[in-house]
């Protein structure tokens, strides 16, 4: 009689996108639960895969979380680099970028918390890798974008470091406030309409402080 149990690790190389399934399942758990903590049993149920595959593909749960961070932050850095290279006014670049940050955190509200957890809890060499791949490129891009705007006479000479914390904080704090939303405003979760209104609000608020 054929076994109906979970797939064995030996089946893993033939499972195609099993690695991606595990990463996406971890992402869904963090989104739905408003958390960055993972249970391997819940991950196994969500992905429909044997939890032993976490060790096979990632070494351990921490390795899985690093892979998720690489997926999400890699897309952000790539998109920001492409935006910096575009031939368009600096104020339009930053409007697009701020909007993209709001949309990204709507999709991945755990992102900044996961980033801080990985930097804090990883070995020094891994923390340095994360900083080199994600934090420093974003900081450098902000330096470039704001310098362009100042030279063009469009921006006030603000501190790019503070700008980073302003933009990230505006997105992260909003989407990590489900409990405030529920208990103060009687709303269970964020929706696309609220995302769109908050995007417009944040772009307008930040740009008004930035424009000369």
CA angle 27, 190, 178 (to 5 degrees): 80
Candidates 158, 69, 63, 76; CA nearest to 110 is 69
Kindly report, residue by residue over 62-93, the tens digit of the pLDDT.
Answer: 999 999 999 999 888 999 999 999 999 999 99
The CATH number of domain 10-59 is 1.10.10: yes
Kindly report, residue by residue over 120-140, the tens digit of the pLDDT.
Answer: 988 899 899 999 999 999 999
Position 141 scores a pLDDT of 94
Candidates 45, 34, 165, 152; CA nearest to 89 is 152
Question: What are the distances in angstroms from CA 106 to CA 155, 185, 187, 193?
Answer: 27, 18, 16, 11
Class at the top of the CATH hierarchy for domain 66-210: mainly alpha
Candidates 50, 58, 46, 47; CA nearest to 7 is 50
Q: Which pTM does this prediction carry?
A: 0.82
- Burial class of residue 111 in the structure, from the number of CB atoms within 10 Å of its CB (0-12 exposed, 13-18 middle, 19+ buried): buried
Asked if 146 and 160 count as a contact pair (C-beta separation under 8 A), the reply is yes
pLDDT grade, residue 16 (50/70/90)? low
The gap from C-alpha 50 to its chain's centroid, in whole angstroms, comes to: 26
Interatomic CA distance for residues 187 and 95, integer angstroms: 28
Residues 6+ apart with CB under 8 A from 96: 83
Q: Where are the domains of the chain?
A: 10-59, 66-210
Interatomic CA distance for residues 207 and 163, integer angstroms: 11
């Amino acid at each position: 009689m054929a076994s109906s149990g979970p797939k064995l690790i030996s089946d893993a190389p033939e499972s195609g996108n099993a690695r991606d399934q595990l990463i996406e399942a971890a992402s869904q758990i963090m989104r739905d639960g408003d958390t960055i903590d993972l249970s391997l049993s819940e991950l196994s149920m969500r992905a429909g895969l044997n939890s032993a595959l976490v060790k096979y593909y990632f070494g351990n749960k921490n390795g899985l979380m690093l892979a998720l961070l690489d997926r999400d932050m890699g897309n952000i850095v790539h998109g920001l680099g492409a935006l910096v290279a575009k031939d368009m006014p600096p104020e339009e670049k930053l409007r697009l970028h701020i909007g993209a940050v709001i949309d990204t955190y709507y999709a991945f509200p755990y992102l900044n918390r996961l980033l801080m957890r990985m930097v804090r809890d990883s070995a020094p060499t891994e923390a340095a890798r994360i900083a080199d791949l994600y934090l420093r490129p974003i900081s450098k891009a902000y330096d470039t974008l704001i310098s362009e705007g100042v030279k063009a006479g469009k921006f006030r000479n603000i501190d790019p470091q503070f700008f980073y914390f302003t933009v990230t904080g505006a997105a992260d704090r909003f989407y990590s406030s489900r409990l405030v939303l529920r208990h103060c405003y009687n709303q269970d979760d964020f929706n696309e309409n609220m995302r769109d209104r908050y995007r417009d609000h944040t772009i307008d608020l930040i740009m008004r402080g930035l424009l000369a």
